[in-house]
Structure 1
């Protein structure tokens, strides 16, 4: 393992993920479930995604950019619609969500968190950046460790901060904010798709 490559991956991936949709998805998950299973599920999903990105390496660069960005746009739009529907359920569901949070097993909450993040990370900037780093440095283990460490820092902050945020803000408001952000990311992905097709 090469420490300079670990550090390079960590420093590159950390700021890419800070304003990312996965941060907000983790925050929303943390409003529904206890933070520890959310962190375990999200962290495991990130681990799998980093392993896939590192393994794929330069192969991801061979995929047409328009196809990747179009699929990402559809995923973001779907996420925005689902989050908005969740927010429309309103305050009556906040009490039910609190009860569901208490009644959901650790494994189920971790599995749901894993599924949400595993699906959301496909074609993500951090995944593409990780693949690029793996191809550039030819140090897959170092790139894996650095990238995964950065993603664990982000998911830990989101999982444990999300619960505190939920105590101060209504869950419906968090869902609306996340839906708006997902919509913005969908629009950006559509613009990228058009640029790829035109350019």
Structure 2
């Protein structure tokens, strides 16, 4: 494992997820159920989603270098635009539907897993994770960094609850995350140009 890649994945994914539906879905689940089984279910869902994104990014890295860096640049540019445009909107609300009133640890963890696993498809953190896995040849390091960031966000939501949601400067967090995505897109464009020139 490479610590710099773990740190890069963590730093890129964390601000993307702070104002995201993930935080608010975890928060709502934690208001309905005890926090520990919610956190276990959410953490397991994130682990599977990150593994899928890392696998997709690693498969992408098998393509020619110029094509990979071009795709990575597009992924990060799309993420930057989406984050910047969403900076003025409020927190995303997640419709949880009927979750049932079962009180067993496993049932609550399963409900939390299902809600978050469904909510994360096509999310910006998945794009970022796949892009990082394609850019670096360190899938395990990308996995650890991205999953750690997602666990921190869900832990904050589950264990700190509404106090956190009321104090997050969502517009600022989304703009900072958009800036990070733009920086990674610029690096990927430079790599594409270099690969095409050689």
Query: Which bracket does the TM-score occupy, shorter chain normalised?
Result: 0.5 to 0.7
RMSD: 3.4
Q: Distance in 1 between matches of 2:25 and 2:6?
A: 26
Q: Distance in 2 between matches of 1:82 and 1:138?
A: 37
Structure 1 residue 80: Cα displacement: 6.0
Decide whether the 8 Å contact of 2:25 with 2:116 is kept in 1.
yes
Q: Structure 2: where are the runs of 5+ without partners?
A: 61-67, 76-91, 166-198
Moved beyond 6 Å, runs of 4+: none
Structure 1 residue 82: Cα displacement: 4.1
Q: TM-score, normalised by structure 1?
A: 0.62
The aligned residue for residue 49 of structure 1 is 49
Matches within 5 A, 1:31-110: 31-57=31-57, 59=60, 82=95, 100=101, 104-110=103-109
Q: Distance in 2 between matches of 1:80 and 1:157?
A: 17
Matches within 5 A, 1:144-159: 144-159=143-158
Q: Distance in 2 between matches of 1:144 and 1:80?
A: 27
Q: Distance in 1 between matches of 2:94 and 2:130?
A: 30
Q: Distance in 2 between matches of 1:113 and 1:122?
A: 15
The aligned residue for residue 141 of structure 2 is 142
Q: TM-score, normalised by structure 2?
A: 0.62
1:38-93 deviations in whole A, cap 9, x for unaligned?
Answer: 0000000000000000001164959xx9xxxxxxxxxxxxx96945x77xxxxxxx
The aligned residue for residue 122 of structure 2 is 123
